[in-house]
Amino acid sequence: MHPLSALKADFLQYIEIEKGRSALTVRNYDHYLTRFLDFAKVESPSDITEAMMREYRVYLNRHPARAAKKGQAVETLDKKTQNYHLIALRAFFKYIRKRGVAGYDPERIELAKTQQRELDLITERELSNLMAAPDTSTIAGLRDKAILELFFSTGLRVSELCSLDRDLDLTTGEVSIRGKGGKIRVVFISGAALDAVKKYLASRVDIDEAMFIDHSPRAHSRMVKEESVRLTPRSVERCVEKYATIAGIAKKCSPHVIRHSFATDLLYNGADLRTVQMMLGHASIATTQIYTNVTNKFLRDQFEKFHSKRDKK
């Protein structure tokens, strides 16, 4: 007898230790699988049937995304979130099969079709205004300037940027980054980003090992106790949002939007998709493929703007 609850615990340990998944990923998988087990109310993998899986798909499709306020319509889980549940379940069933335990065939789980994802992008002028927004007469401004320049120079994820330490060797302009799944990749730092980072680090008088730290008054007491005040991903997101407002950018602007701008800038200037995949740290080139839709639209716009002039003669 292999109870599902025990198999789930083993699976979560497996993806954390052997697959090297992050604590956040393990927590998300735990959430998705717990939701399924609470729904199924069975203990044996062999008790999971095709009918049960169909009913679970309906359950997810109708499940509230969050508690609705009085008088508001209930918002249900979007297709992307439903698919996260199914991906976790499929991985779990594959693990069960690998253990030699009879259960539901993971290959029978098909993901819901989703609308093609559209990228949030900012224009070249908006990007320039964003980079110029920090007040570099203050140490916080020097830090924020370095953050923005580093984002656009490297295409780092916000979690990757926050994990950087100040003892990085910046002399070569190349930095090894440990990304998702513990995979290592090399990113390249532009002259502007390198200059901004060096100016920020030169202004630091603390001993915190983190590359980017909190310089607010409330962080001072923690510094005195020699506690790290490393910036969190959420604080960096708020930082980018702040400067987007200062720069007059009305649309959504986040660290990930700058990452999108990094990728599309490479493609506009002739980089191939495989190169962009490596620089972004995507496990699959299919994830990078979305950027070709943006560049194809850009090329069509350029064609209609310049080449179609011949039709008007």
Active site residues: 157, 180, 256, 259, 282, 291
Contact by Cβ (8 Å): 165, 285: no
Going 151 to 165 to 19 to 158, the CA torsion angle's sign is negative
For residue 269 the two structure tokens come to: 């200037």
Q: How far from 134 is each of 150, 241, 305, 306, CA to CA, in Å? A: 14, 12, 35, 37
Q: How far is CA 267 from CA 47, 177, 188, 281, 297, in A?
A: 50, 22, 16, 16, 12
CA dist 276 and 256 (Å) reads: 15
Cα three-residue angle 214-216-218, rounded to 5 degrees: 105
* Rounded distance between C-alpha atoms, residue 158 and residue 148, angstroms: 11
